[in-house]
């Protein structure tokens, strides 16, 4: 029986020196240079998450401490898992695969990304194309304005790559290697065993006839010069608007209660084996994310405060939950919890600002993820969830009937909020407004 995970993994190549962008890169790693006010890595983290990829490996070298701080901040939020592969000496793109051959263990596919590009590629669509053919490697292609400065390919009628020439003197095509690859797990391990230096120069020419090319339209820019960096500022604004950002750099979010909204309600859930996604919940999260909403879990967890489970055990539960959602292409941007033990049974009273119905978890997420609460929604099965959204001044709150929290709710309060049968219906309501 295969032990491969149906969820792809992502490898982000971000260790380069950025020599051509000096003096900008004298103090800042290229992958963290601001593009329209956002670190370049933010664009790629969002891109892979939209495709349901949450387990990422990122190689580091230049200004590694800054990249490490970035990855730690992402990991602390709990939705996406970034692992650092530090290179004291640059290994080259193929050398990174050799040094991290085990990254593909149990992975059906690995998506490899050069982080010094700005792109609006849909990895969801690219993955669908990859899975529609029988070759082990798919290369993202774009139409280059200057083919002589790129790796240029030719395709046959089945989109199989039949020619690959790095920086040709006389280009025979304008289809250029965009620096994004989808590689099946066994092929990744085979390439790693080559112990080569560069994917473009050393690996791809040896795979001619065994790769397909996927042509994209839209934004794709190699930020390798100061002129390209200036162009990226303009293109980046368009891409941010496309992804739901406003002119203040903020996005709308949907906040989700956990038990009874995303997963089955279990009284004081204490073990990962008890995690079961509610029908349609992953589809709802994936649709909202693709529509530009940041997806955040906010959950009261007094079981921690009562000593019934530890923070480490809670983290494991959330890891399993996130993996189950990722298997259905749904990824969360963050998970926030409050372990405060209430002293009163009334769910409408704010005893602690961070415990729902208090707005604290939503406000913290808004600060850390740059969210516009006035365009955001709260979805849950308890009146405390709806009130948390109201107290945070969200656009609206939605109560779902999938949990146990609504059984004894005060109808007079519940009637103030949207009421729907499940999360999928709630998503339709959000997307239709």
* 379 pLDDT tier (thresholds 50, 70, 90): very high
What is the mean predicted confidence (pLDDT) over 75-81?
91
Set 116, 202, 257, 333: catalytic member: 257
**What is the tens place of the pLDDT at every residue in 317-339?**
999 999 999 999 999 999 999 99
DSSP codes of every residue in 320-332: HHHHHHHTTT---
Decide if pLDDT at 3 tops 60: no
Closest to 153 in 3D by CA, of 140, 163, 141: 163
Least confident of 109-118, 206-215, 362-371, 410-419: 410-419
What is the mean predicted confidence (pLDDT) over 233-253?
93
Strand-pairing partners, residue 398, are 379, 418
Give, in words, the CATH class of 253-432: alpha beta
Strand-pairing partners, residue 60, are 86
Q: What is the pLDDT of residue 280?
A: 97
What is the mean predicted confidence (pLDDT) over 307-317?
95
Q: Mean pLDDT for the chain? A: 93
Distance CA 359, CA 355 (A): 8
Instruction: Tell me the fold of 9-242.
Output: Spore Coat Polysaccharide Biosynthesis Protein SpsA; Chain A (3.90.550)
Phi then psi dihedrals of residue 244, to 5 deg: 100, 0
Decide if pLDDT at 350 tops 50: yes
Set 46, 116, 202, 259: catalytic member: 259
Q: What is the pLDDT of residue 1?
A: 39
Q: What is the pLDDT of residue 417?
A: 94
Decide if pLDDT at 408 tops 60: no
Segments making up each domain of the chain, as ranges: 9-242, 253-432
Q: What is the pLDDT of residue 409?
A: 55
Q: What is the pLDDT of residue 149?
A: 79
What is the mean predicted confidence (pLDDT) over 191-220?
92
Instruction: Indicate if 257 belongs to the active site.
Output: yes
Q: What is the pLDDT of residue 2?
A: 46
Distance CA 341, CA 355 (A): 9
Phi then psi dihedrals of residue 118, to 5 deg: -110, 125
Which percentage of the chain shows pLDDT scores above 70?
97
**What is the tens place of the pLDDT at every residue in 122-181?**
999 999 999 999 999 999 999 988 887 788 999 999 999 999 988 888 888 889 999 999
Q: What is the pLDDT of residue 5?
A: 60
Instruction: Indicate if 422 belongs to the active site.
Output: no
Measuring CA to CA, how many Å separate 14 from each of 71, 87, 100, 187? Answer: 12, 11, 15, 22
* 63 pLDDT tier (thresholds 50, 70, 90): very high
What is the mean predicted confidence (pLDDT) over 30-57?
95
**What is the tens place of the pLDDT at every residue in 86-131?**
999 999 999 999 999 999 998 899 999 999 999 999 999 999 999 9
Closest to 30 in 3D by CA, of 78, 64, 72, 73: 64
Q: What is the pLDDT of residue 406?
A: 55
* 378 pLDDT tier (thresholds 50, 70, 90): very high
Fill in the DSSP letter of residue 30.
G
Decide if pLDDT at 287 tops 60: yes
Decide if pLDDT at 20 tops 70: yes
Q: What is the pLDDT of residue 106?
A: 84
Q: What is the pLDDT of residue 407?
A: 52
Asked whether 45 and 80 are in contact (CB, 8 A), the reply is yes
Structure token pair of residue 279: 């029908």
Q: What is the pLDDT of residue 323?
A: 92
Which percentage of the chain shows pLDDT scores above 90?
82
């Amino acid at each position: 029986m295969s032990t491969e995970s149906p969820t792809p993994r992502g490898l982000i190549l971000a260790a380069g020196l950025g020599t051509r962008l000096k003096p900008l890169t004298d103090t800042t790693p290229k992958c963290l240079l601001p593009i329209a006010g956002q670190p370049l890595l933010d664009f790629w983290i969002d891109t892979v998450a939209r495709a349901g990829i949450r387990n990422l490996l990122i190689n580091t070298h230049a200004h590694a401490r800054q990249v490490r701080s970035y990855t730690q901040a992402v990991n602390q939020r709990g939705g996406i898992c970034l692992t650092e592969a530090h290179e004291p000496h640059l290994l080259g793109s193929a050398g990174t695969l050799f040094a991290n051959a085990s990254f593909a263990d149990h992975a059906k596919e690995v998506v490899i990304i050069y982080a010094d590009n700005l792109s609006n590629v849909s990895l969801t669509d690219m993955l669908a194309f990859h899975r529609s053919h029988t070759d082990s490697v798919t290369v993202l292609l774009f139409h280059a304005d200057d083919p002589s400065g790129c790796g240029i390919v030719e395709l046959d009628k089945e989109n199989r790559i039949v020619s690959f020439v790095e920086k040709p003197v006389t280009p025979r095509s304008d289809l250029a290697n965009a620096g994004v690859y989808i590689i099946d797990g066994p092929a990744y391990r085979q390439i790693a065993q080559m112990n080569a230096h560069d994917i473009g120069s050393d690996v791809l020419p040896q795979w001619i006839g065994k790769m397909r090319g996927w042509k994209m339209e839209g934004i794709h820019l190699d930020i390798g010069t100061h002129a390209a960096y200036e162009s990226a500022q303009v293109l980046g604004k368009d891409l941010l608007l496309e992804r739901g950002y406003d002119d203040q750099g903020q996005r709308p979010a949907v906040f989700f209660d956990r038990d009874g909204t995303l997963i089955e309600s279990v009284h004081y859930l204490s073990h990962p084996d008890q995690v079961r996604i509610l029908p349609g919940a992953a589809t709802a999260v994936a649709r909202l994310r693709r529509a530009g909403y940041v997806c955040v879990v906010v959950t009261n967890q007094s079981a921690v405060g009562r000593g019934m489970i530890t923070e480490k055990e809670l983290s494991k539960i959330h890891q399993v939950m996130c993996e189950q959602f990722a298997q259905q292409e749904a990824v969360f941007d963050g998970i926030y919890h409050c372990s405060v033990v209430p002293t009163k049974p009334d769910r409408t009273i704010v005893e602690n600002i961070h415990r729902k119905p208090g707005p604290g978890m939503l406000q913290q997420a808004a600060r850390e993820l740059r969210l516009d609460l006035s365009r955001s929604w709260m979805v849950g099965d308890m009146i405390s969830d709806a009130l948390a959204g109201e107290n945070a001044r969200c656009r609206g709150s939605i109560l779902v009937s999938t949990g146990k929290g609504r059984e004894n709710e005060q109808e007079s309060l519940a009637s103030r909020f949207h009421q729907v049968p499940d999360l999928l219906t709630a998503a339709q309501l959000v997307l239709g407004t």
